[in-house]
Amino acid sequence: MKSFKGILIFSIIVGVSMFKIFAQKADDSEQPNISKHLSEKGADKINWSAKDDNYWKSVLPAMTYKVTRKSGTERAFTGKYNKYSKAGVFTCSNCGQKLFDSNTKFDSGTGWPSFYDIHAPDSVKLISDKKLGMVRVEVVCSRCDAHLGHVFDDGPAPTHKRYCINSVSLNHIEESAAPETKKK
């Protein structure tokens, strides 16, 4: 009887601990404020490759840092941009570079924001990712190397691509504040 109570108590403790871990919402409400760490000379003039890990750790919320600088993943269906539908452009949450236009966003049913195309040909870099025992293609910001997510070949026409992106990797600029159109 004592061992049953011990197992029960242990199971409850493990269950509560696991609940706390998985209950954390990925899109901490403390999304980075780009203006806090972008210089007056403009984001496109900053040498982003010179920024080290200590810099990113000091300016990004914990979840954003974990995902964008350590190639983590937010929990599915928790990101603030998963069901988001306002017109505009999605930018990198780390450096402000334009990445995706809202008119290329679609509901893939995966629990992460999905896009079938990028904002401009040089918006992102694609890198072979062989972690987790599978071969995938990682998507990173071409300006600051922030991990954004992965791209798959199962998206809608015309590209048949599905850029599966973490919400914490993104910020959104509404159309009225983002007058520049897609540069393709």
Q: Is the pLDDT of residue 31 over 80?
A: no
What's the rounded Cα separation, in Å, for the pair 56 and 13?
34
- DSSP assignment of 105-147: EE--SSSS-EESS-SSTTSEEEEEE-GGGS-EEEEEETTT--E
Residue, of 137 and 180, whose pLDDT is higher: 137
Q: Is residue 21 predicted with pLDDT exceeding 50?
A: no
Catalytic residue among 95, 141, 144, 164: 164
State yes or no: pLDDT of 28 exceeds 60.
no
Residue 164 known to be catalytic? yes
Q: Where are the alpha helices (DSSP H) in the chain?
A: 2-23, 34-37, 53-59, 62-70
Task: Break the chain into its structural domains and give their ranges.
Answer: 27-177
Q: Tell me which CATH code domain 27-177 carries.
A: 2.170.150.20
Percent of the chain with pLDDT over 90: 63
- In the numeric block, which tokens belong to residue 50? 């010179």
Structure tokens at 79: 């990101």
pLDDT tens for each residue of 79-113: 999 999 999 999 999 999 999 999 999 999 999 99
Residue type, 108: S
> What pLDDT score was predicted for residue 100?
98
User: Is pLDDT above 70 for 183?
Assistant: no
Q: Looking at the whole model, is its pTM more than 0.75?
A: yes
Q: Tell me the pLDDT band of 157, cut-offs 50, 70 and 90.
A: very high
Are 117 and 106 in contact, with CB atoms under 8 Å apart? no
